[in-house]
Structure 1
Amino acid sequence: MDITGASAIVTGGASGIGAASARLLAQRGAKVVVADLQEEAGKALADEIGGAFAKVDVTNTDDIINAVEMAKSMGPLRVLVNSAGIGWAQRTVGKDGSYDSAANLDAFKKVIAINLIGSFDAIRLAATAMSTTEPLEYGERGAIVNIASVAAFDGQIGQASYSASKGGIVGMTLPVARDLAAVGVRVNTVAPGLIDTPIYGQGEASEAFKANLQKGVLFPQRLGAPEELASVVIECVTNSYLNAETIRVDGGIRMPPK
Protein backbone atom coordinates (compact mmCIF):
# COMPACT_ATOMS: atom_id res chain seq x y z
CA MET A 1 0.00 0.00 0.00
CA ASP A 2 1.35 3.36 -1.02
CA ILE A 3 0.96 5.82 1.86
CA THR A 4 2.34 8.87 0.07
CA GLY A 5 0.06 11.79 0.90
CA ALA A 6 -2.04 9.74 3.31
CA SER A 7 -2.39 10.53 6.98
CA ALA A 8 -1.41 8.26 9.86
CA ILE A 9 -2.00 8.21 13.60
CA VAL A 10 0.56 6.82 16.03
CA THR A 11 -0.64 6.54 19.62
CA GLY A 12 2.19 6.66 22.12
CA GLY A 13 4.07 8.32 19.30
CA ALA A 14 6.23 10.69 21.31
CA SER A 15 8.87 8.15 22.32
CA GLY A 16 10.26 4.66 21.85
CA ILE A 17 8.74 2.37 19.23
CA GLY A 18 5.97 4.87 18.51
CA ALA A 19 8.41 7.67 17.72
CA ALA A 20 10.54 5.42 15.52
CA SER A 21 7.41 4.32 13.66
CA ALA A 22 6.26 7.92 13.21
CA ARG A 23 9.63 8.85 11.69
CA LEU A 24 9.57 5.97 9.21
CA LEU A 25 5.96 6.65 8.23
CA ALA A 26 6.90 10.26 7.51
CA GLN A 27 9.88 9.09 5.45
CA ARG A 28 7.44 7.03 3.38
CA GLY A 29 5.41 10.15 2.64
CA ALA A 30 2.67 9.99 5.27
CA LYS A 31 1.44 12.96 7.29
CA VAL A 32 1.67 11.73 10.86
CA VAL A 33 -0.40 12.68 13.89
CA VAL A 34 1.72 12.03 16.98
CA ALA A 35 -0.93 11.13 19.58
CA ASP A 36 0.47 11.15 23.09
CA LEU A 37 0.18 12.67 26.55
CA GLN A 38 3.78 13.95 26.41
CA GLU A 39 3.25 17.40 24.94
CA GLU A 40 6.83 18.67 24.78
CA ALA A 41 8.30 15.52 23.22
CA GLY A 42 5.27 15.00 21.01
CA LYS A 43 5.30 18.52 19.59
CA ALA A 44 9.06 18.37 19.00
CA LEU A 45 8.72 15.12 17.04
CA ALA A 46 5.76 16.42 15.05
CA ASP A 47 7.77 19.49 14.07
CA GLU A 48 10.75 17.30 13.14
CA ILE A 49 8.75 15.07 10.78
CA GLY A 50 6.33 17.66 9.40
CA GLY A 51 3.34 16.18 11.17
CA ALA A 52 1.02 17.33 13.94
CA PHE A 53 0.65 16.67 17.64
CA ALA A 54 -2.58 15.67 19.36
CA LYS A 55 -2.74 15.33 23.12
CA VAL A 56 -4.40 11.98 23.57
CA ASP A 57 -5.30 9.88 26.57
CA VAL A 58 -6.35 6.60 24.94
CA THR A 59 -8.86 5.98 27.72
CA ASN A 60 -10.71 9.10 26.55
CA THR A 61 -12.80 8.48 23.43
CA ASP A 62 -13.13 12.19 22.66
CA ASP A 63 -9.33 12.54 22.56
CA ILE A 64 -9.11 9.74 20.02
CA ILE A 65 -11.86 11.26 17.89
CA ASN A 66 -10.00 14.58 17.91
CA ALA A 67 -6.85 12.83 16.67
CA VAL A 68 -8.82 11.07 13.93
CA GLU A 69 -10.39 14.34 12.79
CA MET A 70 -6.97 16.02 12.81
CA ALA A 71 -5.57 13.22 10.65
CA LYS A 72 -8.50 13.45 8.21
CA SER A 73 -7.78 17.16 7.76
CA MET A 74 -4.22 16.31 6.67
CA GLY A 75 -5.07 13.62 4.13
CA PRO A 76 -7.04 10.40 3.76
CA LEU A 77 -6.54 8.38 6.95
CA ARG A 78 -4.99 5.06 5.99
CA VAL A 79 -2.73 4.12 8.93
CA LEU A 80 -3.11 3.56 12.66
CA VAL A 81 -0.27 2.36 14.87
CA ASN A 82 -1.35 1.52 18.41
CA SER A 83 1.80 2.00 20.48
CA ALA A 84 0.44 3.63 23.66
CA GLY A 85 0.84 1.43 26.71
CA ILE A 86 1.98 1.05 30.29
CA GLY A 87 3.45 -1.70 32.42
CA TRP A 88 2.77 -2.92 35.92
CA ALA A 89 4.33 -5.67 37.99
CA GLN A 90 2.85 -7.22 41.13
CA ARG A 91 2.34 -10.77 42.33
CA THR A 92 -1.21 -12.03 42.50
CA VAL A 93 -1.11 -12.68 46.25
CA GLY A 94 0.94 -11.07 49.00
CA LYS A 95 3.20 -12.74 51.53
CA ASP A 96 1.05 -12.23 54.62
CA GLY A 97 -2.07 -14.01 53.41
CA SER A 98 -4.30 -10.96 53.87
CA TYR A 99 -6.82 -9.84 51.26
CA ASP A 100 -5.35 -6.34 51.40
CA SER A 101 -1.98 -7.63 50.21
CA ALA A 102 -3.43 -9.29 47.11
CA ALA A 103 -2.73 -7.70 43.74
CA ASN A 104 -4.08 -4.18 43.28
CA LEU A 105 -7.28 -4.62 41.27
CA ASP A 106 -7.44 -0.95 40.25
CA ALA A 107 -3.93 -1.21 38.81
CA PHE A 108 -4.97 -4.31 36.85
CA LYS A 109 -8.00 -2.47 35.46
CA LYS A 110 -5.87 0.55 34.50
CA VAL A 111 -3.40 -1.55 32.49
CA ILE A 112 -6.27 -3.26 30.66
CA ALA A 113 -8.00 0.08 30.09
CA ILE A 114 -4.94 1.68 28.48
CA ASN A 115 -3.26 -1.21 26.69
CA LEU A 116 -6.25 -3.23 25.49
CA ILE A 117 -9.42 -1.16 25.62
CA GLY A 118 -7.58 1.97 24.48
CA SER A 119 -6.19 0.07 21.50
CA PHE A 120 -9.61 -1.24 20.52
CA ASP A 121 -11.22 2.19 20.91
CA ALA A 122 -8.60 3.66 18.57
CA ILE A 123 -9.15 0.80 16.12
CA ARG A 124 -12.92 1.15 15.96
CA LEU A 125 -12.77 4.92 15.49
CA ALA A 126 -9.87 5.07 13.04
CA ALA A 127 -11.30 2.17 11.03
CA THR A 128 -14.62 3.99 10.82
CA ALA A 129 -12.83 6.94 9.24
CA MET A 130 -10.82 4.64 6.96
CA SER A 131 -14.03 2.99 5.74
CA THR A 132 -15.10 6.27 4.11
CA THR A 133 -11.86 6.84 2.18
CA GLU A 134 -11.46 6.18 -1.52
CA PRO A 135 -10.29 2.58 -2.01
CA LEU A 136 -6.91 1.85 -3.54
CA GLU A 137 -6.01 -1.14 -5.72
CA TYR A 138 -7.89 -4.32 -4.74
CA GLY A 139 -10.22 -2.26 -2.56
CA GLU A 140 -7.61 -1.52 0.12
CA ARG A 141 -8.41 1.46 2.33
CA GLY A 142 -5.98 1.22 5.23
CA ALA A 143 -3.83 -0.74 7.65
CA ILE A 144 -3.74 -1.00 11.42
CA VAL A 145 -0.74 -2.20 13.41
CA ASN A 146 -0.97 -2.99 17.11
CA ILE A 147 2.04 -3.23 19.39
CA ALA A 148 1.75 -6.18 21.74
CA SER A 149 4.67 -7.86 23.54
CA VAL A 150 6.29 -11.25 23.94
CA ALA A 151 4.71 -11.06 27.40
CA ALA A 152 1.51 -12.09 25.60
CA PHE A 153 3.11 -15.53 25.27
CA ASP A 154 5.90 -15.66 27.90
CA GLY A 155 4.47 -13.61 30.76
CA GLN A 156 6.75 -13.46 33.76
CA ILE A 157 6.00 -13.57 37.47
CA GLY A 158 4.08 -10.43 38.41
CA GLN A 159 3.05 -9.64 34.84
CA ALA A 160 -0.57 -10.81 35.02
CA SER A 161 -2.11 -7.47 34.04
CA TYR A 162 0.47 -6.61 31.37
CA SER A 163 0.40 -10.09 29.83
CA ALA A 164 -3.40 -10.16 29.89
CA SER A 165 -3.56 -6.81 28.09
CA LYS A 166 -1.05 -7.82 25.44
CA GLY A 167 -2.55 -11.29 25.09
CA GLY A 168 -5.88 -9.58 24.46
CA ILE A 169 -4.34 -7.58 21.64
CA VAL A 170 -3.00 -10.77 20.05
CA GLY A 171 -6.35 -12.48 20.56
CA MET A 172 -8.37 -9.76 18.86
CA THR A 173 -6.07 -9.43 15.84
CA LEU A 174 -7.74 -12.14 13.74
CA PRO A 175 -11.38 -11.37 14.56
CA VAL A 176 -10.89 -7.64 14.01
CA ALA A 177 -9.05 -8.33 10.74
CA ARG A 178 -12.00 -10.47 9.69
CA ASP A 179 -14.42 -7.68 10.64
CA LEU A 180 -12.50 -5.00 8.78
CA ALA A 181 -11.91 -7.04 5.65
CA ALA A 182 -15.37 -5.89 4.61
CA VAL A 183 -14.12 -2.29 4.40
CA GLY A 184 -10.66 -3.05 3.01
CA VAL A 185 -8.63 -2.48 6.19
CA ARG A 186 -5.88 -4.89 7.24
CA VAL A 187 -4.90 -5.57 10.87
CA ASN A 188 -1.59 -6.95 12.13
CA THR A 189 0.21 -7.08 15.46
CA VAL A 190 3.90 -6.79 16.26
CA ALA A 191 5.11 -8.37 19.49
CA PRO A 192 8.42 -6.84 20.62
CA GLY A 193 10.89 -8.52 22.90
CA LEU A 194 13.37 -6.49 24.95
CA ILE A 195 13.62 -3.14 23.20
CA ASP A 196 15.91 -0.33 24.34
CA THR A 197 13.34 2.38 25.10
CA PRO A 198 12.95 4.96 27.89
CA ILE A 199 10.92 2.42 29.90
CA TYR A 200 14.19 1.19 31.43
CA GLY A 201 15.28 4.64 32.61
CA GLN A 202 18.72 6.18 32.24
CA GLY A 203 22.05 6.13 34.02
CA GLU A 204 24.52 3.55 35.32
CA ALA A 205 21.95 1.45 37.18
CA SER A 206 19.74 1.34 34.11
CA GLU A 207 22.60 0.21 31.89
CA ALA A 208 23.52 -2.55 34.35
CA PHE A 209 19.89 -3.69 34.41
CA LYS A 210 19.71 -3.81 30.61
CA ALA A 211 23.02 -5.68 30.42
CA ASN A 212 21.55 -8.37 32.64
CA LEU A 213 18.32 -8.55 30.65
CA GLN A 214 20.01 -9.08 27.31
CA LYS A 215 21.69 -12.28 28.51
CA GLY A 216 18.50 -14.14 27.73
CA VAL A 217 18.34 -13.04 24.08
CA LEU A 218 19.24 -15.88 21.72
CA PHE A 219 20.96 -13.85 18.97
CA PRO A 220 22.04 -11.14 18.64
CA GLN A 221 22.55 -10.95 22.39
CA ARG A 222 21.49 -7.38 22.94
CA LEU A 223 18.38 -5.31 23.35
CA GLY A 224 16.57 -4.40 20.16
CA ALA A 225 16.51 -0.87 18.77
CA PRO A 226 13.17 0.92 18.31
CA GLU A 227 14.02 1.32 14.61
CA GLU A 228 14.21 -2.47 14.23
CA LEU A 229 10.64 -2.72 15.49
CA ALA A 230 9.50 0.23 13.41
CA SER A 231 10.75 -1.39 10.20
CA VAL A 232 8.43 -4.33 10.84
CA VAL A 233 5.57 -1.94 11.60
CA ILE A 234 6.15 -0.27 8.22
CA GLU A 235 6.22 -3.64 6.49
CA CYS A 236 2.84 -4.46 8.06
CA VAL A 237 1.51 -1.16 6.72
CA THR A 238 2.91 -1.28 3.19
CA ASN A 239 2.82 -5.01 2.40
CA SER A 240 -0.74 -5.43 1.15
CA TYR A 241 -0.72 -9.22 1.51
CA LEU A 242 0.21 -9.18 5.19
CA ASN A 243 -2.96 -9.48 7.24
CA ALA A 244 -4.31 -10.95 10.50
CA GLU A 245 -0.81 -11.86 11.69
CA THR A 246 1.15 -11.47 14.91
CA ILE A 247 4.91 -11.18 14.42
CA ARG A 248 7.44 -11.58 17.23
CA VAL A 249 10.50 -9.34 16.92
CA ASP A 250 12.63 -10.46 19.83
CA GLY A 251 16.04 -11.88 18.87
CA GLY A 252 14.68 -15.37 19.61
CA ILE A 253 14.15 -14.78 23.33
CA ARG A 254 11.76 -16.91 25.35
CA MET A 255 11.20 -15.14 28.63
CA PRO A 256 11.96 -17.13 31.82
CA PRO A 257 9.55 -17.08 34.78
CA LYS A 258 11.53 -14.19 36.34
Structure 2
Amino acid sequence: MQIEGLRAIVTGGASGLGGATAAMLAERGADVAIFDRDEERGRAQAEAIGGAFFAVDVADEASAEAAFAAAEDAGGVARLLVNCAGVAPAIKTVSKDGAPHPLDAFRRTIGVNLIGSFNMIAQFAARLAAADPLGEERGVIVNTASVAAYDGQIGQAAYAASKGGVVGMTLPIARDLAQHRIRVVTVAPGIFLTPMLMGLPQAAQDSLGQQVPHPSRLGRPEEYAQLVEAIVANPMLNGEVIRLDGAIRMAPR
Protein backbone atom coordinates (compact mmCIF):
# COMPACT_ATOMS: atom_id res chain seq x y z
CA MET A 1 0.00 0.00 0.00
CA GLN A 2 1.29 3.45 -0.91
CA ILE A 3 1.37 5.99 1.92
CA GLU A 4 0.93 9.03 -0.29
CA GLY A 5 -2.67 10.22 -0.23
CA LEU A 6 -3.74 7.93 2.62
CA ARG A 7 -5.63 9.07 5.68
CA ALA A 8 -3.63 7.86 8.71
CA ILE A 9 -4.35 7.88 12.45
CA VAL A 10 -1.54 7.72 15.00
CA THR A 11 -2.41 7.27 18.67
CA GLY A 12 0.15 8.71 21.05
CA GLY A 13 1.24 10.82 18.09
CA ALA A 14 2.12 13.88 20.13
CA SER A 15 5.67 12.69 20.90
CA GLY A 16 8.07 9.75 21.01
CA LEU A 17 7.51 6.81 18.68
CA GLY A 18 4.10 8.13 17.68
CA GLY A 19 5.41 11.61 17.05
CA ALA A 20 8.17 10.33 14.76
CA THR A 21 5.70 8.11 12.94
CA ALA A 22 3.21 10.93 12.42
CA ALA A 23 6.00 13.12 11.03
CA MET A 24 7.21 10.38 8.68
CA LEU A 25 3.71 9.71 7.36
CA ALA A 26 3.07 13.40 6.74
CA GLU A 27 6.41 13.71 4.95
CA ARG A 28 5.43 10.79 2.71
CA GLY A 29 2.21 12.52 1.73
CA ALA A 30 -0.34 11.06 4.16
CA ASP A 31 -3.16 13.06 5.72
CA VAL A 32 -2.35 12.48 9.41
CA ALA A 33 -4.66 12.65 12.40
CA ILE A 34 -3.01 12.58 15.83
CA PHE A 35 -5.02 10.98 18.64
CA ASP A 36 -3.57 11.85 22.05
CA ARG A 37 -4.51 12.98 25.56
CA ASP A 38 -1.78 15.66 25.63
CA GLU A 39 -3.55 18.54 23.92
CA GLU A 40 -0.67 21.01 24.09
CA ARG A 41 1.91 18.68 22.54
CA GLY A 42 -0.62 17.08 20.23
CA ARG A 43 -1.76 20.36 18.71
CA ALA A 44 1.83 21.56 18.35
CA GLN A 45 2.87 18.35 16.60
CA ALA A 46 -0.17 18.43 14.32
CA GLU A 47 0.59 22.02 13.36
CA ALA A 48 4.25 21.19 12.72
CA ILE A 49 3.42 18.37 10.29
CA GLY A 50 0.32 19.87 8.71
CA GLY A 51 -2.00 17.33 10.31
CA ALA A 52 -5.00 17.41 12.63
CA PHE A 53 -5.29 16.77 16.35
CA PHE A 54 -8.07 15.03 18.25
CA ALA A 55 -8.14 14.72 22.03
CA VAL A 56 -8.75 11.04 22.82
CA ASP A 57 -8.71 8.67 25.76
CA VAL A 58 -7.95 5.43 23.90
CA ALA A 59 -9.32 3.29 26.72
CA ASP A 60 -12.70 5.03 26.63
CA GLU A 61 -15.15 3.70 24.04
CA ALA A 62 -17.18 6.91 23.72
CA SER A 63 -14.08 9.11 23.47
CA ALA A 64 -12.59 6.93 20.73
CA GLU A 65 -15.86 6.72 18.82
CA ALA A 66 -16.26 10.50 18.85
CA ALA A 67 -12.69 11.02 17.66
CA PHE A 68 -13.02 8.53 14.81
CA ALA A 69 -16.24 10.20 13.69
CA ALA A 70 -14.70 13.67 13.82
CA ALA A 71 -11.56 12.54 11.98
CA GLU A 72 -13.63 10.84 9.29
CA ASP A 73 -15.80 13.93 8.82
CA ALA A 74 -12.66 16.03 8.46
CA GLY A 75 -10.65 13.83 6.12
CA GLY A 76 -12.50 10.69 5.07
CA VAL A 77 -12.01 7.06 6.03
CA ALA A 78 -8.59 6.29 7.48
CA ARG A 79 -6.64 3.45 5.87
CA LEU A 80 -3.80 3.22 8.38
CA LEU A 81 -3.88 3.02 12.17
CA VAL A 82 -0.66 3.09 14.21
CA ASN A 83 -1.18 2.43 17.92
CA CYS A 84 1.58 4.10 19.95
CA ALA A 85 -0.35 5.36 22.99
CA GLY A 86 0.81 3.72 26.20
CA VAL A 87 2.00 3.99 29.77
CA ALA A 88 4.99 2.31 31.43
CA PRO A 89 4.82 2.19 35.24
CA ALA A 90 7.59 0.56 37.27
CA ILE A 91 6.08 -1.09 40.36
CA LYS A 92 7.14 -4.30 42.07
CA THR A 93 4.60 -7.00 42.94
CA VAL A 94 5.53 -6.43 46.58
CA SER A 95 7.21 -3.16 47.54
CA LYS A 96 10.21 -2.74 49.84
CA ASP A 97 7.89 -1.95 52.73
CA GLY A 98 5.78 -5.05 52.04
CA ALA A 99 2.83 -3.38 50.31
CA PRO A 100 1.18 -5.20 47.40
CA HIS A 101 1.20 -3.77 43.88
CA PRO A 102 -1.70 -1.26 43.73
CA LEU A 103 -4.43 -2.93 41.71
CA ASP A 104 -5.57 0.38 40.24
CA ALA A 105 -2.12 0.91 38.71
CA PHE A 106 -2.16 -2.59 37.21
CA ARG A 107 -5.69 -2.07 35.91
CA ARG A 108 -4.81 1.30 34.35
CA THR A 109 -1.79 -0.15 32.54
CA ILE A 110 -3.88 -2.96 31.08
CA GLY A 111 -6.60 -0.45 30.29
CA VAL A 112 -4.42 1.92 28.29
CA ASN A 113 -1.93 -0.45 26.67
CA LEU A 114 -4.09 -3.49 25.93
CA ILE A 115 -7.76 -2.53 26.13
CA GLY A 116 -7.00 0.86 24.61
CA SER A 117 -5.19 -0.74 21.67
CA PHE A 118 -8.04 -3.18 21.08
CA ASN A 119 -10.63 -0.41 21.37
CA MET A 120 -8.86 1.57 18.65
CA ILE A 121 -8.41 -1.51 16.45
CA ALA A 122 -12.05 -2.56 16.64
CA GLN A 123 -13.49 0.87 15.97
CA PHE A 124 -11.01 1.61 13.18
CA ALA A 125 -11.60 -1.75 11.49
CA ALA A 126 -15.38 -1.46 11.68
CA ARG A 127 -15.28 1.80 9.74
CA LEU A 128 -12.64 0.62 7.28
CA ALA A 129 -14.45 -2.64 6.51
CA ALA A 130 -17.23 -0.66 4.81
CA ALA A 131 -14.82 1.19 2.50
CA ASP A 132 -13.83 0.11 -1.00
CA PRO A 133 -10.55 -1.85 -1.25
CA LEU A 134 -7.43 -0.22 -2.65
CA GLY A 135 -6.25 -3.02 -4.89
CA GLU A 136 -5.87 -6.20 -2.84
CA GLU A 137 -6.23 -4.57 0.58
CA ARG A 138 -8.28 -2.02 2.46
CA GLY A 139 -5.77 -0.91 5.05
CA VAL A 140 -3.19 -1.68 7.71
CA ILE A 141 -3.04 -1.69 11.51
CA VAL A 142 0.32 -1.42 13.28
CA ASN A 143 0.41 -2.01 17.04
CA THR A 144 3.18 -1.30 19.52
CA ALA A 145 4.18 -4.00 22.00
CA SER A 146 7.61 -4.16 23.66
CA VAL A 147 10.44 -6.58 24.27
CA ALA A 148 9.06 -6.54 27.82
CA ALA A 149 6.36 -8.87 26.50
CA TYR A 150 9.13 -11.51 26.35
CA ASP A 151 11.83 -10.20 28.73
CA GLY A 152 9.89 -8.29 31.37
CA GLN A 153 12.16 -6.84 34.04
CA ILE A 154 11.74 -6.39 37.78
CA GLY A 155 8.92 -3.92 38.36
CA GLN A 156 7.35 -4.54 34.94
CA ALA A 157 4.61 -7.02 35.83
CA ALA A 158 1.81 -4.73 34.68
CA TYR A 159 3.65 -3.39 31.65
CA ALA A 160 4.82 -6.83 30.49
CA ALA A 161 1.33 -8.27 30.94
CA SER A 162 -0.21 -5.48 28.87
CA LYS A 163 2.33 -5.79 26.07
CA GLY A 164 2.14 -9.59 26.17
CA GLY A 165 -1.57 -9.16 25.53
CA VAL A 166 -0.85 -6.99 22.49
CA VAL A 167 1.47 -9.69 21.15
CA GLY A 168 -1.08 -12.43 21.85
CA MET A 169 -3.96 -10.73 20.05
CA THR A 170 -2.00 -9.89 16.89
CA LEU A 171 -2.55 -13.17 15.03
CA PRO A 172 -6.21 -13.75 15.94
CA ILE A 173 -7.11 -10.19 14.97
CA ALA A 174 -5.20 -10.56 11.69
CA ARG A 175 -7.23 -13.71 11.05
CA ASP A 176 -10.47 -11.96 12.02
CA LEU A 177 -9.79 -9.08 9.64
CA ALA A 178 -8.42 -11.10 6.74
CA GLN A 179 -11.90 -11.34 5.23
CA HIS A 180 -11.97 -7.53 5.17
CA ARG A 181 -8.49 -7.32 3.59
CA ILE A 182 -7.06 -5.49 6.59
CA ARG A 183 -3.55 -6.42 7.73
CA VAL A 184 -2.39 -6.40 11.37
CA VAL A 185 1.27 -6.25 12.41
CA THR A 186 2.85 -5.55 15.80
CA VAL A 187 6.25 -4.00 16.49
CA ALA A 188 8.03 -4.89 19.75
CA PRO A 189 10.64 -2.16 20.31
CA GLY A 190 13.61 -2.52 22.62
CA ILE A 191 15.12 0.47 24.44
CA PHE A 192 14.25 3.62 22.51
CA LEU A 193 14.99 7.27 23.17
CA THR A 194 11.47 8.32 24.09
CA PRO A 195 10.52 11.33 26.26
CA MET A 196 10.64 9.13 29.36
CA LEU A 197 14.30 8.18 28.74
CA MET A 198 15.23 11.68 27.62
CA GLY A 199 14.67 12.76 31.23
CA LEU A 200 17.48 10.51 32.44
CA PRO A 201 21.06 11.81 32.80
CA GLN A 202 23.25 11.26 29.75
CA ALA A 203 25.35 8.72 31.67
CA ALA A 204 22.24 6.66 32.36
CA GLN A 205 21.18 6.84 28.71
CA ASP A 206 24.64 5.72 27.61
CA SER A 207 24.58 2.83 30.09
CA LEU A 208 21.23 1.62 28.75
CA GLY A 209 22.46 1.91 25.19
CA GLN A 210 25.53 -0.18 25.93
CA GLN A 211 23.27 -3.11 26.85
CA VAL A 212 22.24 -3.38 23.19
CA PRO A 213 24.51 -5.83 21.30
CA HIS A 214 24.49 -3.91 18.02
CA PRO A 215 24.17 -1.05 17.46
CA SER A 216 25.16 -0.34 21.07
CA ARG A 217 22.93 2.66 21.60
CA LEU A 218 19.33 3.57 22.26
CA GLY A 219 16.95 3.16 19.37
CA ARG A 220 15.78 6.32 17.63
CA PRO A 221 12.06 6.98 17.17
CA GLU A 222 12.73 7.57 13.49
CA GLU A 223 13.87 3.93 13.22
CA TYR A 224 10.51 2.78 14.55
CA ALA A 225 8.86 5.01 11.94
CA GLN A 226 11.05 3.44 9.25
CA LEU A 227 9.70 0.01 10.14
CA VAL A 228 6.11 1.27 10.03
CA GLU A 229 6.79 2.55 6.53
CA ALA A 230 8.14 -0.86 5.47
CA ILE A 231 5.16 -2.68 7.00
CA VAL A 232 2.69 -0.51 5.11
CA ALA A 233 4.55 -1.07 1.85
CA ASN A 234 4.84 -4.88 2.09
CA PRO A 235 1.49 -6.67 1.60
CA MET A 236 2.82 -10.03 2.82
CA LEU A 237 3.54 -8.73 6.31
CA ASN A 238 0.50 -9.78 8.30
CA GLY A 239 -0.21 -11.41 11.66
CA GLU A 240 3.41 -11.01 12.74
CA VAL A 241 5.26 -9.49 15.71
CA ILE A 242 8.59 -7.90 14.80
CA ARG A 243 11.22 -7.24 17.47
CA LEU A 244 13.06 -3.98 16.81
CA ASP A 245 15.72 -4.16 19.46
CA GLY A 246 19.33 -4.49 18.22
CA ALA A 247 19.32 -8.14 19.44
CA ILE A 248 18.92 -7.19 23.10
CA ARG A 249 17.51 -9.69 25.60
CA MET A 250 16.65 -7.83 28.76
CA ALA A 251 18.28 -8.79 32.08
CA PRO A 252 16.13 -8.94 35.24
CA ARG A 253 17.07 -5.32 36.07
TM-score w.r.t. length of structure 2: 0.96
- Aligned equivalents of 1:5 and 1:63: distance in 2? 26
Partner SS state of residue 77, structure 1: coil
**Cα deviation 1:87-133 (Å, max 9, x = unaligned):** 11111123455xxx011111000000000000000000000111011
Residue in 2 that maps onto 1:144 = 141
What 5-or-longer segments of structure 2 have no aligned partner? none
The amino acid of 1:126's aligned partner reads F
Of 56-65 and 119-128, more deviation after overlay is shown by 56-65
Distance in 2 between residues matched to 1:76 and 1:56, nearest whole Å: 18
Q: Is the 8 A contact 1:148 1:166 kept in 2?
A: yes
Secondary structure of 2:191's aligned partner: coil
User: Does structure 1 residue 239 correspond to structure 2 residue 234?
Assistant: yes
Paired amino acid for 2:147? V
Q: State how 1:154-165 maps to structure 2 within 5 Å.
A: 154-165=151-162
Residue number among 182, 186, 189 corresponding to 1:189 in the alignment: 186
**Residue of structure 2 equivalent to 1:62:** 62
**Which deviations, in whole Å up to 9, do the C-alpha atoms of 1:162-217 show, x marking residues without a partner?**
00000000000000000000111000000110101101243xx5222211111210
Deviations 1:9-66 (A, max 9, x none): 1000000000111111112221111111111211111112221000011122122112
Partner of 1:172: 169
The 2-side partners of 1:27 and 1:95 are apart by 48
Q: Residues of 2 paired with 1:235 and 1:20: CA distance? A: 15
Q: Please state how far the C-alpha of 1:5 moved relative to its aligned partner.
A: 2.2
**Distance of 1:121 and 1:137 partners within structure 2:** 27
Alignment of 1:4-83 (within 5 A): 4-73=4-73, 74-83=75-84
In the alignment, the residues of structure 1 paired with residue 248 and residue 204 of structure 2 have an alpha-carbon distance, to the nearest angstrom, of: 17
Structure 2 distance, partners of 1:210, 1:6, is: 36
Partner of 1:135: 133
How far is the alpha carbon of 1:234 from its aligned partner? Answer: 1.6
> What amino acid maps onto 1:147 in structure 2?
T
Identity of aligned residues (%): 53
Contact 1:77 1:133 survives alignment (8 Å)? no
Letter matched to residue 158 of structure 1: G
CA contact (8 A) 2:151 2:249 kept: yes
Alignment length, in residue pairs?
A: 252
Give unpaired runs (5+ residues) of structure 1.
none
- Paired with 2:246 and 2:26, the residues of 1 have a C-alpha distance of 27
Structure-2 residue corresponding to 1:108: 106
Cα RMSD (Å): 1.3
Name the stretch that deviates more: 225-234 or 60-69: 60-69
Which deviates the most, 106-115 or 42-51? Answer: 42-51
Is the Cα–Cα contact under 8 Å of residues 177 and 187 in structure 1 kept in the other structure?
A: yes
Give the TM-score of the pair, scaled to structure 1. 0.94
